[in-house]
């Protein structure tokens, strides 16, 4: 089983039906379900996804009553969350070093700590992870 870190940009592509590039994200989801990928996530990951789903509901992209079931479907994956112990300080240092938001830097910290490959649809995060020497794959590359 391959260790990976999946950022919220990928997960939102499989949860939100109006995303244009869902196929590669759904393929990642299917590989997790099949036990081919072993995802570890930053400790704040569920809250980041929940926040994005609430924002999508407020923007009219989905009905508000769908947010809870979507979060429960994500929770059913039982994604391994990293220990919050010293995680925030490491994410802050990485954010300052790479010019990222702290939550984005946390994905790089998670990938470094687990030895996993960060999978993202966020081009800026992808480029920063490359600069940091983290193993990273962009969702577009996985679709090719």
Residue that wins the pLDDT comparison between 85 and 122: 122
CA–CA gap between residue 59 and residue 72 (Å, rounded)? 21
The pLDDT tens digits for 6-15 are 999 999 999 9
Class of residue 53 by CB neighbours under 10 A (exposed 0-12, middle 13-18, buried 19+): buried
Tally the domains of the chain. Answer: 1
Asked whether residue 1 carries a pLDDT value surpassing 80, the answer given is no
Contacts of 132 (CB under 8 A, 6+ apart): 94, 97, 98, 108, 112
CATH number reported for the structural domain that contains residue 31 in this entry: 3.40.50.1010
What is the reported pLDDT for 76? 87
What is the reported pLDDT for 20? 83
The pLDDT tens digits for 84-113 are 888 999 999 999 999 999 999 999 999 999
What is the reported pLDDT for 144? 55
The pLDDT tens digits for 37-73 are 999 999 999 999 999 999 999 999 999 999 999 999 9
What is the reported pLDDT for 77? 80
Residue that wins the pLDDT comparison between 78 and 38: 38
Which residue segment(s) compose the domain that 34 sits in?
2-143
């Amino acid at each position: 089983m391959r260790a990976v870190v999946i950022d919220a940009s990928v997960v939102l592509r499989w949860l939100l039906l109006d995303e244009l590039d869902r196929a590669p994200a759904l393929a990642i989801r299917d590989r997790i379900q099949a036990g081919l990928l072993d995802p570890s996530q930053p400790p704040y990951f569920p809250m980041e996804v929940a926040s994005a789903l609430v924002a999508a509901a407020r923007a009219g992209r989905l009905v508000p009553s769908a947010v809870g079931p979507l979060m429960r479907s994500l929770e059913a994956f039982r994604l391994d969350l990293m220990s919050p112990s010293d995680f925030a300080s490491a994410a802050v240092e990485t954010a300052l070093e790479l010019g990222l938001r702290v939550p984005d830097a946390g994905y790089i910290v998670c990938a470094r700590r687990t030895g996993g490959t960060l999978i993202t649809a966020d081009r800026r995060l992808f480029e920063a992870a490359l600069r940091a020497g983290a193993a990273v794959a962009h969702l577009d590359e996985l679709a090719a």
